[in-house]
């Protein structure tokens, strides 16, 4: 992109000067596109290990998704948010900056999720609407304790500025190779939701990003904070994924969806079709 060579400041200026909106909108629900995967080396989708690696294809898919007016915004690292702002597609949309991407997928230090993208000062300075953090809790890795401490401090710093924290707490295990894998236990998910709800010196601006489960009433009931469901890569089980999202939306504090690969790289159909289905699920006839 020529702007990066000849006018690098134009990327920052575009993000700072974009038109803003209120956080939740009229119906108190949100549909956010998740596009922060590449910043920690997650490039696979729909069976292709490098599906997300091509930046221009990725940007094209996000722009196409944002053509739907019921998409409320984008969660991404600075490189992607700046490029989208420069392209003019974040006007009147939420921009949420991802913060701790240091837990690179597949590494021995993966659970030591250091802050390597935005910090609270720059979330505020660039006019972002929130900061997103990942908190993966595993019972033996000492890096988890550092992550808890760092995440709690960031929540406090954002709350002091009146800015949303979007926190994704997940239970994790180490497999036989010593690598981090998601723990499917509902009981442990409920536990980490409870832990996440108590982090920071104020919870006033904290939202949670959570997976859907068959016990969503108990998971959502472990917190009084607003919950956005995460997407993940559903593979061929797209219909089941949407059905679980729809069921989870019955819980009063489940307020929407933060999805990336499921909408931007659908296993079947187009980006436009997947986004339309998600927007109908989240916003329905309320907008």
What pLDDT sits at residue 287? 42
What pLDDT sits at residue 286? 44
Question: What is the rounded CA–CA span in Å between residue 206 and residue 229?
Answer: 14
Q: Is the pTM of this model over 0.85?
A: yes
Per-residue pLDDT of 103-117, as tens digits, reads: 999 999 999 999 999
Residue 237 lies in a domain: yes
Ordered per-residue pLDDT tens for the chain, 287 residues: 689 999 999 999 999 999 999 999 889 999 999 999 999 999 998 888 999 999 999 999 999 999 999 999 999 999 999 999 999 999 999 999 999 999 999 999 999 999 999 999 999 999 999 999 999 999 999 889 999 999 999 999 999 999 999 999 999 999 999 999 999 999 999 999 999 999 999 999 999 999 999 999 999 999 999 999 998 776 677 888 899 999 999 999 999 999 999 999 998 889 999 999 999 999 995 44
What pLDDT sits at residue 234? 67
Residue 4 lies in a domain: no
Residue 41 lies in a domain: yes
Q: Contact 62/260 with Cβ under 8 angstroms?
A: no
Residue 137 lies in a domain: yes
How many domains would you assign to the chain?
Answer: 1
Cα dihedral across residues 181, 236, 232, 87: positive or negative: positive
Residue 1 lies in a domain: no
Q: Check which CATH number belongs to the domain holding 209 and give it.
A: 3.20.20.70
Residues counted in the chain: 287
Nearest to 30 by CA among 207, 272, 218: 207
Residue 3 lies in a domain: no
Q: Contact 232/258 with Cβ under 8 angstroms?
A: no
Number of C-beta neighbours around residue 197 at 10 A: 17
What pLDDT sits at residue 285? 57
Domain extent for 73: 10-270+277-283
Residue 235 lies in a domain: yes
Q: Contact 101/39 with Cβ under 8 angstroms?
A: yes
Provide the 8-state DSSP code for 183.
Answer: -
Burial (CB count <10 Å: 0-12, 13-18, 19+), residue 28: exposed
Dihedrals phi, psi of 2, to nearest 5 degrees: -60, -30
Residue 2 lies in a domain: no
């Amino acid at each position: 992109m020529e702007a990066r060579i000849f006018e690098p400041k134009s990327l920052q200026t575009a993000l700072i000067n974009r038109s803003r909106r209120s956080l939740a909108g009229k119906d108190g629900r949100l549909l956010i596109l998740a596009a922060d995967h590449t910043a920690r080396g997650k490039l696979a989708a729909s069976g292709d290990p490098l599906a997300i690696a091509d930046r221009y294809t990725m940007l094209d898919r996000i722009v196409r998704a944002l053509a739907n007016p019921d998409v409320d915004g984008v969660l991404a690292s600075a490189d992607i948010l700046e490029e989208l702002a420069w392209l003019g597609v974040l006007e009147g949309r939420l921009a949420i900056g991802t913060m701790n991407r240091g837990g690179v997928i597949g590494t021995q230090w993966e659970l030591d999720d250091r802050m390597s993208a935005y910090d609270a000062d720059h979330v505020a300075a660039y006019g972002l609407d929130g900061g997103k953090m990942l908190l993966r809790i595993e019972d033996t890795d000492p890096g988890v304790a550092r992550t808890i401490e760092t995440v709690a401090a960031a929540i406090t710093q954002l709350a002091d500025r009146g800015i949303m924290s979007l926190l994704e707490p997940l239970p994790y295990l180490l497999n036989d190779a010593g690598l981090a894998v998601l723990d499917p236990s509902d009981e442990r998910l409920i536990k980490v939701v409870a832990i996440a709800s108590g982090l920071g010196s104020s919870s006033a601006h904290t939202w949670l990003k959570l997976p859907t489960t068959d016990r969503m009433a108990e998971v959502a009931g472990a917190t009084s904070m607003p919950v956005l469901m995460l997407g993940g890569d559903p593979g061929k089980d797209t219909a089941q994924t949407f059905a679980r999202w729809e069921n989870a939306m019955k819980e009063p504090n489940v307020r929407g969806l933060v999805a990336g690969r499921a909408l931007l790289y659908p296993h079947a159909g187009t980006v436009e079709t997947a986004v339309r289905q998600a927007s109908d699920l989240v916003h329905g006839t309320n907008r």
